[in-house]
Amino acid sequence: MSADLTPVIAAGTRWLLTAFPPAPGAFSQALAEAQARQAVTLAAALRYPTALDAELLHLLGPGGSARLDWLTGADQGDDTGDGWRTWVDETVVSWAACLLASPGLAADAQHLADHGQAGEVTRLTRPGAREHDAAPLLRHPDLLEPVAALHRAQLLDLLDYENVALG
């Protein structure tokens, strides 16, 4: 995984946790963050598989979170500033939502990106009761659907899926 993707991964993870907050408690927060980070990291590895792709991302910019914020009604006001939102990549977040909603799809995506790029994604591909309890909103397919639907077709094309029921 290119270090050049770190700001996109951090912003995408933060956006998901802002839009779909974890259950109360420090353990739930940490577990939800691990799941969101794994999903965004895997999505970023698929979206930007080469160093040249990462360089183009930095040249052109990721696009920001405005459409995602509008779609979900996510709060844009926080006390630390909104500069991080400019690093949100809508496609990466949409793909991450698809991966969070479907462990099977996440496992297939891991195989495609599996060259050490995405790192460990066990909490994503084999979530247990703890993962679901810590992040009930982040793991809820119906709640993720508006975000996931934005770019699902591209992800399925990349993974060469045809007429697959997700879930």
According to DSSP H, which parts of 20-121 are helical?
A: 26-47, 51-60, 66-72, 90-101, 103-113
Question: Model-level pTM?
Answer: 0.89
Q: Which residue carries 């703890």 as its tokens?
A: 130
List average pLDDT for each run of 10 residues in the chain, which is 167 residues long: 83 97 96 96 93 91 92 67 90 97 92 68 89 94 96 93 51
Q: Residue 67 contacts by C-beta under 8 Å, 6 or more apart in sequence?
A: 90, 150
Q: Let me know: does 40 contact 12? Beta carbons within 8 Å.
A: yes
